[in-house]
Amino acid sequence: MQRLHARYPFLEAARESVATAAVDLAAVVERDQAVVDRARNRVLSALEDGTIGEPHHDSRTELLSYPVARVLVSVVGERVLVRRYARAEAETAHERFVADLEDTTELKSVESTAFDLTDLLTEFDLESAVQERGDEEYRIGVGTYLPLAADCWGDEWRLVNRSLADGEVPVDEDELHELLREAIRNRIEDGLPFDVPEAIADDLEGDVTEIRDVLADLDLTREIDTVVPDLFPPCMKALLDDVQKGEHLPHHSRFAITAFLASIGMSTDEIVDLYQVNAGFGEDMTRYQTDHIRGETSPTEYSPPSCATMQSYGDCVNKDDLCERIPHPMAYYEERIDDAEDDDLEDWREADDEAASAE
Ligand code: SF4
């Protein structure tokens, strides 16, 4: 059983087995260097290549490295690390359970590291929401589908592109597995970061510094300096659309879109170029406003308004599922960029560069 728990440490039973064994994490952190090393490796691999690294040969060490990795992520306390770490754990779990589901019959007979689809659905209380309908085809209740699909990448996940019938969404087997990966990711992300007692944090100081250094070197913030209008929040898409159609925007709306574009890394010249499509935008006025918002001709660098402010001005339009979970248009964009596959971002950048050199 310990092998199963080491392979899937996010399982409720794995958490209970650590609790039942009365494992004192403080003592583990202080004395069991192999566990701490493997925990640090889980987190660093998540940052560096989106995996959790090679498992330790000893199941106990492997299992305990999971709660210690969560402690490390919590002490560092960066949201981007929480997201990267949870995603890497979930990706690994996904690869493992897909392989295990293929091998289930073979492995179940001996001491099994595998479990079947029913076990997995039960783990996440999904057994009644997911019905098998024929060969590798499933239907999932829409109320269950929506939150799980919210962060899945691609238009095919949008409800409008699904033949919803009787409150159920059809999915094939691979898609069901992807939704399960999302359920795992949500569980892993849940509760992170948490408060860590000072004594434990002190014992992990060197490991935390190493993780912070790698985080700084990776310069994850560069991703927000990426202009991908496809990923803009709905409110900003609508405002940009209005600008480009030449409509007159009230001051608060013009401020919101300009501050947003400046915050995602567009220069004043680029914003002026973008607005020139709109004959109603005098270049001088746009330049003055943009420099002002950027803090170049004023003492303050202005941030785009929060969702609450956007709502109060009537600028919050076309809300989607992600809007329900974020407080700020920048958080929306950050999350979309973070979820975009690196290859997709590369394609967008190349398309941008080509468009720029064609001008
Ligand atoms: S909820 Fe926020 S991000 Fe979404 S449309 Fe409204 S203002 Fe924009």
Residue 301: band (very low, low, confident or very high) from pLDDT cuts 50, 70, 90: low
Give 308 Cα–ligand 1 centroid separation in angstroms.
Answer: 8
Q: Check if 316 has its Cβ closer than 6 Å to any atom of ligand 1.
A: yes
Q: Mind listing the pLDDT tens digit for each residue in 85-142?
A: 998 999 999 999 998 888 764 444 444 555 788 889 999 999 888 988 877 789 999 9
Q: What one-letter code names the amino acid at 309?
A: T
Residue type, 89: E
Q: Is the CB of 234 under 6 A from ligand 1?
A: yes
Adjacent-strand bridge partners of 16: none
Locate the domains of the chain by residue range.
2-218, 224-358
| 236-287 pLDDT per residue, tens | 999 988 887 777 888 889 889 998 998 888 888 888 877 766 555 667 777 8
To the nearest 10 degrees (0 to 180), the angle between helices 173-189 and 142-149 is 70
Write the CATH number of the domain with boundaries 2-218.
1.20.930
The residue whose C-alpha atom lies closest to atom 4 belonging to ligand 1 is 323
Q: Is 152 annotated as a binding residue?
A: no
* Residues 139 and 131 sit within 8 Å (Cβ to Cβ): yes
Please enumerate in sequence order all residues whose Cβ is within 8 A of that of 275, keeping only pairs 6 or more positions apart, or say none.
243, 281, 286
In the chain, DSSP finds a helix count (H) and a strand count (E) of: 18, 3
Closest C-alpha residue for ligand 1 atom 1: 323
**H or E element in which residue 132 lies:** strand 130-132
* Ligand 1 site, residue 310, Cβ cutoff 6 A: yes
